[in-house]
Structure 1
Amino acid sequence: MNDTTDYLTILRDTTPLIDVRAPVEFQQGALPGAINLPLMNDSERAAVGTCYKKAGPEAALRLGHQLVQGELREQRMQAWLQACAQNPRGYLCCARGGQRSHIVQQWLRERGVDYPLVTGGYKILRQAAIEAIHQRLQRPLLLIGGCTGSGKTLLVASRRNGIDLEGLARHRGSSFGRTLQAQLSQASFENQLAAALLKTSPTFWLLEDEGHAIGANHLPAILRERMAQSPLAVVEEPFEQRLERLRNDYFLQMSQAFIQRDGEEAGWQAYAEYLRHGLFAIRRRLGLQRFAQLSAHQEEALIQQQRTGNTSAHFAWLVPLLEEYYDPMYRYQLEKRAKDIIFRGNFDETAAWLAAQNNQQ
């Protein structure tokens, strides 16, 4: 099997990668299709790096072989062999396509497995991702705006040309936006974005109107620039519809998800802390007195939900939070973009309008 330089295909197809870099490197940035099966763990890699600086490459290589031998080498070997069997069309990958991936490739070959590697490694794949984002975002963008609970993410995710930035970021974008999945590093988020942009070639991209950051992940500068210049369709849902959507997303689904993950008691505590943290994060903007009032309503609602399963009491704090904080904030931001608005309608009207835009292409 041949080593590869087809970097865009690897990104586009979420090609399986056996990434043999140390865990700390993998956490700093990885490709969507990668699994981390390191040749050396973090401490081993640090020791080899120190040796390299003090005694040169040959001494560092000898130390690496001394650290990864015997039973430890066999354990890692078995993990690589299993991954190769499960991903027959994958590739080995290290930082620069250098010694680590070549060593693992040679060890696999000695065991009868011929497995290719990515020439240039993660560094060149990362560069390809950055370039792909710049290139693909030259196409026109259309943004979907609207107040919290309007169904913007649903509209974007349901379209072939939609790029669900919140899904890629594993965050809904507000102080209550945390999901059960931890957010990726900034580099990994951008790599995910590049992969999504490469999967299709529409006439225009459909994106949700976002701020500069979604949780801990920042939108790339080129994306922020393009979004600031793009037209906007605004979803204007009735308030009651928005409340029901938020009830389902934040109270019903999130409580069930935490309990399914952690068990009844621990899951409920994690869900309650999630809601408390969301309100606490904006306490200064609310004012401490208003925060205390809404927190009291939140605690009462949690007690009622836990006892009866009824989530309606949450509206006692959610409604004022929307009316006094989130809605005025978004409408103020929207006023600054008034010249860019090309459509307004409820969820169904916006969905029909978007379908017509796609049909015209």
Structure 2
Amino acid sequence: MFVDDYQKIFLSDRPMLDVRAPIEFEQGHFQHAQNKPLLDNQQRQSIGLCYKEQGQDAAIEMGWQMATEEVIEARINHWAEFTRANPEGCLYCFRGGLRSRFSQQLLQQHGIDYPIVKGGYKAMRQFLLQELKQACQEAPLIIIAGPTGSGKTKAIEQIERCIDLEAEACHRGSAFGQLLNAQQPAQISFENNISQRWLKLGRERAVLMEDEGRLIGRLNLPDYLQAAMQKAPLVQIEEPLEQRCQWVIEDYVLSPLQHISLEEFSHNLSANLYRIRKRLGGLRYQALQKEFEQACQSWSKQQEASAFYGPIEQLLRDYYDPMYKYQLQQRQGQVLFRGRCQELVDWCREQNL
């Protein structure tokens, strides 16, 4: 029993039982897949080496030798629990081959019929890659631009037809953008998630994305997505510097301090500032470092965030704004709208976006 309608699988968020080894799952997976492996990492490596040196029959024999009653019972218990919770699901290995069929047979021996995804992970991954490439070539795309702190993320959260690249990357995109207690996904998973999101939105109407550079944290935007974004028309958020400073304080100071100690916050702030020291220049870096230290000391005494306003204003005005203006000049697309954050949200609703 096979399933091969990949589009339907992803549009319906069909639960998937991933029987690949944990290391394969970590290197890339799909949003609605759970990893309950047939082989652990060491077993996979040993059987793979045997297959390469002695052929398929020898590898299958080695697999049966490893499949003790205790091992099979543990696997069946995990899989049966998943299939009971997700009767509409399916299972896959890397290519839809031996591991999938063996897992399916074990389930059938215990009275559970569960379909295999034809072609396995590889086929579904290729489907999503092709879908993303075609969307970049064919689908209308609009880029949300605006200087740091102008509320692009606030707008994205209110616009229906958006792909939030930073949310998918678990990173805000700047030197200060690492999210608390959030590990970035694998590069392959990041690409899979963008493609699946775009697939659900469809290509008939425009999709909006925030203006991003090549990297979001340690993750790369695919070249073809970068090219599409570079040519796409823009909507620009223009907020007063005072408002931007207040939002940066809310997002990058007050929010983190609700979850971590002042000591940890101060350490992270110092480390992030150090990353851009060369671009800031020695004197500016030292001055900002001192001002942020004093702001942290003020917070420790009075729980008052106003001391952060000065260095944040300087950082926005003298570092981020010139960089934004330069990057904006490289854009090729026409400007469809300019206005404040909420005005952009209202415009998108008027445009049925």
TM > 0.5 fold call:
yes
Q: What is residue 262 of structure 1 aligned with on the other side?
A: none
After TM superposition, the score normalised by the length of structure 2 is 0.93
Deviation at 1:6, TM superposition (A): 1.0
Give, in whole Å, the separation in 2 of the partners of 1:162 and 1:271: 31
Residue number among 209, 219, 222 corresponding to 1:220 in the alignment: 222
With over 3 angstroms needed to count, the CA separation of the structure-2 counterparts of 1:96 and 1:307, relative to structure 1, is farther
The alignment covers a number of residue pairs equal to 350
Give, in whole Å, the separation in 2 of the partners of 1:181 and 1:209: 22
Give, in whole Å, the separation in 1 of the partners of 2:125 and 2:257: 37
Q: What is residue 251 of structure 2 aligned with on the other side?
A: 249
Give, in whole Å, the separation in 1 of the partners of 2:297 and 2:76: 52
The answer as to whether partners of 1:14 and 1:195 remain within 8 angstroms in 2 is: no
Aligned residue type for 1:145 = A
Give yes or no for the alignment of 1:64 onto 2:66.
Answer: no
Q: What is residue 200 of structure 1 aligned with on the other side?
A: 201
Deviation at 1:168, TM superposition (A): 1.1
Q: What is residue 18 of structure 2 aligned with on the other side?
A: 19
Give yes or no for the alignment of 1:326 onto 2:326.
Answer: no
With over 3 angstroms needed to count, the CA separation of the structure-2 counterparts of 1:114 and 1:236, relative to structure 1, is same
With over 3 angstroms needed to count, the CA separation of the structure-2 counterparts of 1:244 and 1:114, relative to structure 1, is same
1:358 aligned counterpart, secondary structure: coil
Give, in whole Å, the separation in 1 of the partners of 2:287 and 2:70: 60
Give, in whole Å, the separation in 1 of the partners of 2:246 and 2:315: 15
Q: Which moved more, 1:65-74 or 1:230-239?
A: 65-74
Give, in whole Å, the separation in 2 of the partners of 1:97 and 1:268: 50
The answer as to whether partners of 1:157 and 1:163 remain within 8 angstroms in 2 is: no
Give, in whole Å, the separation in 1 of the partners of 2:82 and 2:314: 52
Specify every segment of 5 or more residues in structure 1 that has no aligned partner in the other structure, as ranges. Answer: 260-266
Deviation at 1:268, TM superposition (A): 4.9
With over 3 angstroms needed to count, the CA separation of the structure-2 counterparts of 1:289 and 1:91, relative to structure 1, is same
Deviation at 1:339, TM superposition (A): 6.5
Deviation at 1:189, TM superposition (A): 0.6
Aligned residue type for 1:252 = L
Give, in whole Å, the separation in 2 of the partners of 1:270 and 1:79: 39
Residue number among 341, 348, 354 corresponding to 2:348 in the alignment: 354
Deviation at 1:277, TM superposition (A): 2.5
Q: What is residue 263 of structure 1 aligned with on the other side?
A: none
Give, in whole Å, the separation in 2 of the partners of 1:74 and 1:316: 63
Deviation at 1:66, TM superposition (A): 2.2
With over 3 angstroms needed to count, the CA separation of the structure-2 counterparts of 1:106 and 1:308, relative to structure 1, is farther
Deviation at 1:340, TM superposition (A): 2.2
Give, in whole Å, the separation in 1 of the partners of 2:296 and 2:39: 47
Specify every segment of 5 or more residues in structure 2 that has no aligned partner in the other structure, as ranges. Answer: none
User: Residue by residue, what CA displacement relative to the aligned partner does 1:204-229 show, whole Å, maximum 9, x if unpaired?
Assistant: 11111111221122112221111111
Give yes or no for the alignment of 1:148 onto 2:148.
Answer: yes
Give, in whole Å, the separation in 1 of the partners of 2:295 and 2:74: 51
The answer as to whether partners of 1:162 and 1:206 remain within 8 angstroms in 2 is: yes
Q: What is residue 264 of structure 1 aligned with on the other side?
A: none
Correspondence list, 1:1-361, <5 A: 2-137=1-136, 138-179=138-179, 180-201=181-202, 202-256=204-258, 258-259=259-260, 268-337=262-331, 340-358=334-352
Give, in whole Å, the separation in 1 of the partners of 2:101 and 2:232: 46
Give, in whole Å, the separation in 1 of the partners of 2:263 and 2:30: 34
The answer as to whether partners of 1:144 and 1:208 remain within 8 angstroms in 2 is: yes
Give, in whole Å, the separation in 2 of the partners of 1:269 and 1:91: 47
With over 3 angstroms needed to count, the CA separation of the structure-2 counterparts of 1:9 and 1:276, relative to structure 1, is farther
The answer as to whether partners of 1:168 and 1:193 remain within 8 angstroms in 2 is: yes
Give, in whole Å, the separation in 2 of the partners of 1:45 and 1:341: 53
Give, in whole Å, the separation in 2 of the partners of 1:287 and 1:238: 26
1:199 aligned counterpart, secondary structure: helix
1:332 aligned counterpart, secondary structure: helix
- CA RMSD across the alignment: 1.9
2:190 aligned counterpart, secondary structure: helix
Deviation at 1:305, TM superposition (A): 2.9
The answer as to whether partners of 2:231 and 2:331 remain within 8 angstroms in 1 is: no
Give, in whole Å, the separation in 1 of the partners of 2:25 and 2:89: 17
Q: Which moved more, 1:294-303 or 1:197-206?
A: 294-303
The answer as to whether partners of 1:129 and 1:191 remain within 8 angstroms in 2 is: yes
Deviation at 1:139, TM superposition (A): 1.4
The answer as to whether partners of 2:146 and 2:237 remain within 8 angstroms in 1 is: yes
Deviation at 1:130, TM superposition (A): 0.7
Deviation at 1:306, TM superposition (A): 4.1
Deviation at 1:133, TM superposition (A): 0.7
Deviation at 1:184, TM superposition (A): 1.1
User: Residue by residue, what CA displacement relative to the aligned partner does 1:270-314 show, whole Å, maximum 9, x if unpaired?
Assistant: 433332232121111112332222222223323333444322222
Task: Give the percent of matched residue pairs that are identical in Structure 1 and Structure 2.
Answer: 40
Q: Which moved more, 1:17-26 or 1:290-299?
A: 290-299
